[in-house]
Structure 1
């Protein structure tokens, strides 16, 4: 059985890059760290680090173990905090992942209410493109995440929250000087800039067949919201997204938006957690607060979407 102390030592070596720096951080003799590392490497039958003149770099096996170790240690810390709180007090660390659009819609008011109503919660908020948020959740770096089009996988506990219509955005000379709807087939003839999502390409829209057509015709694929916005303003192409995604540029009038029809395109936002991770008092309170802020943002019109579930 894995030794928790060995995992703590191993993580420190990875994150500090050397035995000496990990030793200083942990206040544990470097020789002791070296001994425990040797035991781990013997247990797994392969080296976990490459020893270099200026430090230690994890091997592929070391990086894999690091992902597992962080998840294990985090789960143990959450369990300890939760079980020591016999009165159901809302306290302890909770980490939340949010897509770029979710942060724009509810990020600040959500954070403000956590600070005001749950001062004993140590909130960690991670903003990312939705396709990046899923691997972050899988690596146990966040407790829950607002993610688009979560895959149907038993490792996730996922509930649909809202559905957003997608539009075509770009300069009038690219997409036409009109706000009238544009048909999907006509969209394929435009210079499309696609938000690249890697293993989570479904985060762009629900229909994977239509997504493949878009990917095949895309002029550019990017993983940067800022780069996409700048390219749209520069007239380098058009993009498919929600109005919220490019809200700032739309309000400035530098770009315009056209609804997409035949078929209409949409994507679904889910509140997703790892099915294997037990809920805590704190995580349940934060989950309820997240959902309340999403509902309020839709009701007030700040988030152009339809609630589901």
Structure 2
């Protein structure tokens, strides 16, 4: 069985479109379709259902993809690690980001990566922590920023930092009074929370369980940008990492309160497959560059710290 044919299969499976895959691998659509027919004949099972909306994997196709995607990706990385420069072809690496971090720093990170590694073609993939862990395990992406420990033995994780939460509400709200509130008081408020029970939602659920409280959920939204907009509209409050909302609070778009007591924190981790660590020095350089960039972007700047001190001293941000 040809490795190239399997790589075409993975490309079509992940794109869901023969036309789009043909453009990505620079092969005529008719030739790519023929390769898939030959692969199906060789295996003796149908791998795709051809629909008006594109190519959808059959159950046999799903099993094949789960089995070959990661090994093919590791082979590709190993080959890329032997390349010494752009004259031998550009390397391709995929980085997964949660929507919250993509909103906060995705654009600046992309520009920095392009400047620092001009011979690498980066693909930035946005998805929830659970999806990113799954894609990492299946070899669909090379590394990812996670908002929770993956608990996946195939992955290596490096904790970058822990982000404390704060409570945010509409800018014109009168209560709670003061610059900070207790975690129990915050958890009892009508809240807008993510629906995925990982990352931010998991930290909120754990805090509620410790306090013996049931959450008053007004709405669920899986985008921190949308959560902030809904809070600003007066639908409810939100508990989010302080770094995710600080600029909006400082600009007066939201009102913020620091949390007292056993307040939740969100662990930010950088993860990659174990086998990818042997992919070459360039891969390691990219990992080091990204982790430094994320740590710097998510850490509070000096100007932010001075504003942070004004909140804690009682000078509230209106």
Task: Give 2:133's aligned residue.
Answer: 134
- Judged with a 3 Å threshold, the aligned counterparts in structure 2 of structure 1 residues 303 and 273 are, in CA distance, closer, same or farther, namely farther
* Residue 269 of structure 1: how far off its partner (Å): 0.9
Q: Over residues 176-234 of structure 1, what are the superposed CA-to-partner deviations in whole Å (9 max), with x where a residue is unaligned?
A: 25452222222232111111224xx1444558632557775322221133431221111
Answer yes or no: is 1:81 the counterpart of 2:80. Answer: yes
> CA RMSD for the aligned pairs?
3.6
Task: Give 2:301's aligned residue.
Answer: 300
Structure 2 Cα separation of the partners of residues 202 and 18 of structure 1: 35
Task: Give 1:283's aligned residue.
Answer: 283
Task: Give 1:197's aligned residue.
Answer: 196
Answer yes or no: is 1:210 the counterpart of 2:207. Answer: yes
Q: Over residues 15-34 of structure 1, what are the superposed CA-to-partner deviations in whole Å (9 max), with x where a residue is unaligned?
A: 46469x96963563755542
Q: Over residues 220-277 of structure 1, what are the superposed CA-to-partner deviations in whole Å (9 max), with x where a residue is unaligned?
A: 2211334312211110011111233234532331311111222122111111112233
Q: Over residues 64-101 of structure 1, what are the superposed CA-to-partner deviations in whole Å (9 max), with x where a residue is unaligned?
A: 43354443333222211212439xx9962222222344
Tell me the TM-score normalized by structure 2.
Answer: 0.76
Kept after mapping to 2: 8 A contact 1:148/1:204: no
Matched residue SS, 1:8: helix
* Residue 146 of structure 1: how far off its partner (Å): 1.7
Which deviates more, 274-283 or 262-271? 274-283
Structure 1 Cα separation of the partners of residues 304 and 6 of structure 2: 43
**Alignment equivalent of 1:39, drawn from 38, 42, 46:** 42
For structure 1, list consecutive stretches of 5 or more residues without a partner in the other structure: none
Corresponding pairs, count: 295
Matched residue SS, 2:95: strand
Pairing of 1:9-24 with structure 2 (within 5 A): 9-11=8-10, 14=13, 15=15, 17=17
Matched residue SS, 2:238: strand
Structure 2 Cα separation of the partners of residues 111 and 259 of structure 1: 31
Pairing of 1:88-237 with structure 2 (within 5 A): 92-103=91-102, 106-171=105-170, 176=175, 178-198=177-197, 201-204=198-201, 206=203, 209-210=206-207, 216-237=215-236
* Residue 109 of structure 1: how far off its partner (Å): 4.4
* Residue 299 of structure 1: how far off its partner (Å): 6.6
Matched residue SS, 1:78: helix
- Judged with a 3 Å threshold, the aligned counterparts in structure 2 of structure 1 residues 181 and 39 are, in CA distance, closer, same or farther, namely same
Which deviates more, 225-234 or 292-301? 292-301
Kept after mapping to 2: 8 A contact 1:90/1:285: no
Matched residue SS, 1:271: strand
Task: Give 1:7's aligned residue.
Answer: 6
- Judged with a 3 Å threshold, the aligned counterparts in structure 2 of structure 1 residues 269 and 294 are, in CA distance, closer, same or farther, namely same
Structure 1 Cα separation of the partners of residues 54 and 89 of structure 2: 41
* Residue 122 of structure 1: how far off its partner (Å): 1.7
Matched residue SS, 1:166: strand
Structure 2 Cα separation of the partners of residues 56 and 149 of structure 1: 33
Matched residue SS, 2:250: helix
Kept after mapping to 2: 8 A contact 1:149/1:206: no
